[in-house]
Amino acid sequence: MKIDSKGFTMVELLAVIVILGILAVIGIASVRGVLGRSKSSYLDSQNKMAVLAGKAYYSDYRSRLPKVIGPVREVSLQRLIDLKYIDPIKDADGNLCDLGDNSKVYVQKVDNEEYKYWAFLSCNGKTSGEHENNSPTVLLTPQNTNGTSEAPVSVLLTAKDDTKVLSYRYIIYKDGHEYKSVSKLYKKPVSILLTETGEYTIQAYVYDVFGNQGKTRGGVYSLKIADPDCSTFKVNDVPNADNWQNKNITFTVYSSSFTIARWTLEDKYTDTATGSMKNKNLIKKTSSSKKSFTLKENGTHEIVIRGYNSEGKSCERSLTTYKIDKEKPSLPTLTGNPGKWTNQNFKLTGTTVDKYSGVSHWEYSYDQKNWTQYLDSENDTFVTSEFSETSNQDIYLRAVDKAGNTSTVAKSTIQIDKIPPTCSSSAINSGLFKYITGTCSDTGGSGCKDWFVMKTFSATGSYSPGTVYDNAGNSTVCPALSVTVTPTTPVEPEKPKDDPKPTKKVSVSKSDIVRWQRATTRKDCSPAQVQCKTMCKSFDTNKDKGICANKYCTNANPKKRKLETGNYLKIYNESDGCFKKGEYVANVVGRMLASVDGSTLTLDLYIAQGSQTYMQDSYYLDLVIQKEGAKDPYKTISLKNKTNDHWNGGHIYNNNKVFHHKFTCDEAGTYTVKTVGNTSDPGFGMDFGSFTVSCS
């Protein structure tokens, strides 16, 4: 094919013509679409102008706004133009919009203070905005009560629409008069509650988003008020509500019945300690469905509720009974303990007072850490099981009441010793000394009462020194020992002289010799201090001894605490002695037994020192018998120590017949009896009084 150098080929030319034709068709269609959209947008903008004009109109005429939610008010485009709120509206082609019923501005109340505006324009067959005239449907269920029913009755209002239901309104007429009117947004079916006696009708309206109204009217709802139902009241759960509480109780009452219009709550309170009763209003009439209350007083609280319906009829119900006890039982009183060492079984009786809940049980402990509950001990007075085993320990008891309060701890000391003491016997048969002694020792804990016994003998035989006792009453007969007495050669009596002198009778008076005496030393204890030491010795721990000393020994002096003579025996057995600035000073007592046989006087002397006192080997003790008016002693007798143990409290001088003498007329006179010790040491000086020898 030849190509013209000045142009296209024929085929090419035809192709270009076809392409240009296609482009022309596409261009025309596109232009028409753009023009159509432009006209529609123009009309929409005019619609917005109409809405603004409607808002301005109703701003000036607010009384014409809808009063309730749902109904629609409207103003025509013609009126807005006439009142100069807007110029005549034309479409994009210059055609005026319809000024009849087809072009209007609508307003609808959609909330309490909110309004919705929209316009519907019709211009030369074209429209802008939405609107329709289909009414929603509304239904009341049930339509009536079909006779008289007990209040309350619930009527369900249900609405439907082909677009959307906006709001509802119902008017209740009671006994021919308007009773109640409600207008709200519709979100779901509405329950209309009728609660009072009367005859009711209900007029119901619903509105869609375009203000179209649907309505219905119910039949007759005839009601009478039901009696109040107190069984519907509820109380929140209180832990262990049936039991005594040892704290304040807070509870909440709920009312859930439509038959209850108002209610009251009463506390029938009983002070179980005194038996007094009173009624207390926790709350007077209230319509609240929920209230909380707090109880504080010890005793029982019966909670009684009284409900009322709208006509004043009432019901009553006891909701529950609460019991409060915040007071612990009194300090128990313990009786039945002998209060000293015993070899008998015994029981303790604990007595307490619990004013409110009563005793739940008793507990005991030996260390106040681990407590054991007594079984079947639910009583203010409780007797323990029997204490029977040898022991020396403290026991603690306490009472627990039914609310969980625990009394202060009471203490008692169990001192039981059932183990008899032991006794070892020894005999002395030398010259004037013919006796058997027994020494007591005790392992049961109570200690020996008389740790030393003695029996004299004058003939060959088997002898026991006697019986030893512990402080719990147990006893043991000391072993008997066989002893032999060697008879002395009789002395021939002097033959009377040819010229005998007249016979005179010698008599001895021992009435001035005292039985007991205590040594007076430079650093000795006062009688009250000795007595104090004796009283506090029985405590085991230094703490308890300190408590005892603080109670009984403060500022002890003989003027305030008289030490009776009869207590010297206790000092003889138990005295702890005195201590001053680390020095040990002996507490020494002496017992002098004097007997007279005609003109013969016999003195038996027993010297004893207290425990924990110190005696040096250099100490000595002499019995001195001094005749009145004589320069030198009539008789000085060195007393021998029984043992060399200076620490165990048993440093004893036992001198049977330390002085045994038959007096003559030549020895008539008054004699003093004393013991003397070292002059350079405290010594053991004791004055046992005097005796008199007379001749007639």
Q: What is the DSSP string of 533-592?
A: HHHHTT--SHHHHHHHHHHH-TT--TTTS---GGGHHHHHHH---EEETTEEE--EEEEE
For residue 47, what are its two tokens? 């619609």
Contact between residue 252 and residue 292 where contact means Cβ atoms under 8 Å apart: yes
* Model confidence pLDDT, tens digit, residues 597-654: 888 989 988 776 654 444 455 556 788 899 898 888 888 888 765 444 443 444 456 6
Pairing of strands 126-128, 104-109: unpaired
**What distance in Å separates the CA atoms of residue 127 and residue 231, rounded to the nearest whole number?**
65
| CATH placement of domain 333-416 | 2.60.40.10
Helix (H, G, I), strand (E, B) or coil at 631: coil
**What distance in Å separates the CA atoms of residue 692 and residue 513, rounded to the nearest whole number?**
10
Q: Residue 251: which of 302, 317, 209 has the closest Cα? A: 302
Per domain, the residue ranges of the chain are 36-128, 137-225, 230-324, 333-416, 422-483, 506-523+577-695, 526-567
The β-bridge partners of 278 are: 269
Q: Residue 586: which of 675, 672, 657 has the closest Cα? A: 675
Q: Residue 109: which of 188, 180, 169, 166 has the closest Cα? A: 166
At the second CATH level, the architecture of 506-523+577-695 is Sandwich (2.60)
- Other C-beta atoms closer than 10 Å to the C-beta of 38 total 11
**Position of tokens 């680390």?**
582
Percentage of the chain beyond pLDDT 70 is: 76
DSSP designation for 346? B
Q: Residue 67: which of 201, 181, 214, 188 has the closest Cα? A: 181
**Position of tokens 């019901």?**
315
Look at residue 397 in the predicted model and tell me its pLDDT.
Answer: 97
For residue 266, what are its two tokens? 């009463």
Return the amino acid letter for 509: S
* Model confidence pLDDT, tens digit, residues 77-135: 999 999 999 998 887 788 788 777 778 999 999 988 899 999 998 888 788 888 888 99
635 vs 288, 409, 432, 592, 669, CA distance in Å?
111, 64, 17, 16, 14
Give residue 571's region: left, alpha or beta (phi > 0; psi -120 to 50): alpha
Helix (H, G, I), strand (E, B) or coil at 167: strand
Look at residue 416 in the predicted model and tell me its pLDDT.
Answer: 96
Q: Cα 473 from chain centroid?
A: 45
| CATH placement of domain 230-324 | 2.60.40
Look at residue 329 in the predicted model and tell me its pLDDT.
Answer: 96
333 vs 292, 337, 483, 547, 686, CA distance in Å?
42, 11, 57, 21, 47
**What distance in Å separates the CA atoms of residue 202 and residue 174, rounded to the nearest whole number?**
9
Look at residue 63 in the predicted model and tell me its pLDDT.
Answer: 93
Segments of the chain with pLDDT less than 70: 1-40, 430-433, 487-502, 516, 518-589, 608-620, 640-654, 678-684
Q: Tell me the CATH class for 137-225.
A: mainly beta
Q: Residue 298: which of 356, 236, 371 has the closest Cα? A: 356
Look at residue 523 in the predicted model and tell me its pLDDT.
Answer: 42
* Model confidence pLDDT, tens digit, residues 412-451: 999 999 999 999 999 887 665 688 889 999 999 999 987 8
Contact between residue 308 and residue 294 where contact means Cβ atoms under 8 Å apart: no
Q: 174, exposed or middle or buried, with CB in 10 Å at 0-12, 13-18, 19+?
A: middle
Do 506-523+577-695 and 230-324 fall under one CATH topology?
Answer: yes
Look at residue 169 in the predicted model and tell me its pLDDT.
Answer: 93
Helix (H, G, I), strand (E, B) or coil at 29: helix
For residue 225, what are its two tokens? 């008020």
